[in-house]
Amino acid sequence: MAEPKTSRPFYRPQAGGELHCGGVSLESLARRFGTPLYVYSANQIAERLAMFQQALAGRDHLVCYAVKANSALAILKLLAKRGAGFDIVSGGELERVMAATPEAAGRVVFSGVGKTAAEIDAGLKAAILAFNVESEAELALLAARARKLKIRARFALRVNPDVFADTHPYISTGLREHKFGVDIRRARAIYRSAAKDRWLEAYAVSVHIGSQIRSADPFGAAIARVSKLAMQLREDGITLKAIDAGGGLGIDYHDGAFDAAGKVEEYAEALNRALGEFDGRLLIEPGRFLVAQAGALVTRVLYVKRNGKKTFVITDAAMNDLIRPALYQAHHEIVPVRPRAGRACVVDVVGPVCESGDFFARDRKLVPVEPGDLVALLDAGAYGMVQSSNYNSRPRAAEVLVEGAKARLIRRRETMADLLATERV
């Protein structure tokens, strides 16, 4: 089987053989670095970025990777070297970008509903591209900090277009009842008011309607409303240089064919149509689409336990390592690294954390596994490591980046000394 180019990078060179990432077997990585272990494909991350860049090649654009999806310094550096910008939502994420690739500061947009004065100051001093402002109160604070530091602040008002996106309610952000952005009907007046402040520069208008959205239609609907606003502002003498379309393009977490390049083309076409006469720069903020399918969580089976009619596969990874199934009831394909012969049976795949919610799959058909076997939880490159915790005093996993036939450790496994270092008795 050839290594896939547009779907998952995890494959078996021979039918029924051992699972690989690039030219490296996951079994060898588990021996070398232990489990639980996050494994990422550098090649696929680069390919996914290139898909957006190529699809938008006919328009001035910047792909700003959503750092919250996976903030590993090595991944940030990998993307920056290929021309990506960054969408951040905290001062900590700004620090990560500056640590990994300080030369990319001018390609950073700062989103998030609760920026502090200290975070705003850090963004101003770093000379970031723009602040995506989420409220009138935040805009007033941005103006005050810019005045104090004597640094003119570029901003985009994040508007709420009241567009429904068919996704999980926890990651839908484009309706009026959500905490994000300002009502698009108020935006024109806010821009007019801001134009009177010499320390503010209206750079763009921003929108983000949610995450894991599989259809291009909601993106087009949102951008059509934002583009109309930009044209109205031009009539008011306020010429925006950019429109920020946000992120949210989804992937397929289930087993099956997924045409990533086709999805990106469809998305780009929807945005280009909706932008209409707007001829400024387009910013987009993909996160999950770039890194989710590039990553897997490799874990070892500890026990196979039968309780009445139920069979439990207990692994050394737990909800503290990957919380998405417990938090969102999210689906991740689970595959053995080295498959055994035999008929699949229905099992629950669970971790050792002392919570009934500590599961990766319930009532899932899985081929036979035995204690000591390795299994891989696919599509774990986004919102896996970044949402991990030390619950039950469990050290967080190590991370490995695979580039072709080479693998390197990009985050060592935590130790108990790390966990205890900040505490005092």
Q: Are 206 and 156 in contact, with CB atoms under 8 Å apart?
A: yes
Instruction: CATH 2.40.37.10 in the chain: give the residue spans.
Output: 10-34+294-420
**Residue range(s) in the chain whose domain bears CATH number 3.20.20.10:** 42-288
Q: What is the CATH number of domain 10-34+294-420?
A: 2.40.37.10
- pLDDT of res. 6: 46
Q: Which residues lie below 8 Å from residue 409, measured CB to CB, with a gap of 6+?
A: 33, 398, 399, 400
pTM comes to 0.94
Beta strands in 134-206 (DSSP E): 153-160, 182-183, 200-206
Show pLDDT as tens, one digit a residue, over the chain (425 residues): 344 444 799 999 998 899 999 999 999 999 999 999 999 999 999 999 999 999 999 999 999 999 999 999 999 999 999 999 999 999 999 999 999 999 999 999 999 999 999 999 999 999 999 999 999 999 999 999 999 999 999 999 999 887 755 444 444 444 445 556 899 999 999 999 999 999 999 999 999 998 889 899 999 999 999 999 999 999 999 999 999 999 999 999 998 789 999 999 999 999 999 999 999 999 999 999 999 999 999 999 999 999 989 999 999 999 999 999 999 899 999 999 999 999 999 999 999 999 999 999 999 999 999 999 999 999 999 999 999 999 999 999 999 999 999 999 999 999 999 999 999 99
Residue-wise pLDDT for 172-208, tens only, equals 444 445 556 899 999 999 999 999 999 999 999 999 9
Three-class secondary structure of residue 375 per DSSP: strand
For 298-309, b/e burial (b = at least 16 CB within 10 A) is: bbbbeeeeeeee
Task: Please provide the DSSP assignment of 32-49 as one string.
Answer: HH-SSEEEEEHHHHHHHH
In 207-338, alpha helices (H)? 217-235, 260-275, 288-291, 324-328
Task: Indicate which residues carry an active-site annotation.
Answer: 354
**Distances, alpha carbon 244 to alpha carbons 52, 132, 203, 204, 372, in Å:** 14, 9, 10, 7, 48
CATH 3.90.1720.10 fits 42-288, yes or no: no
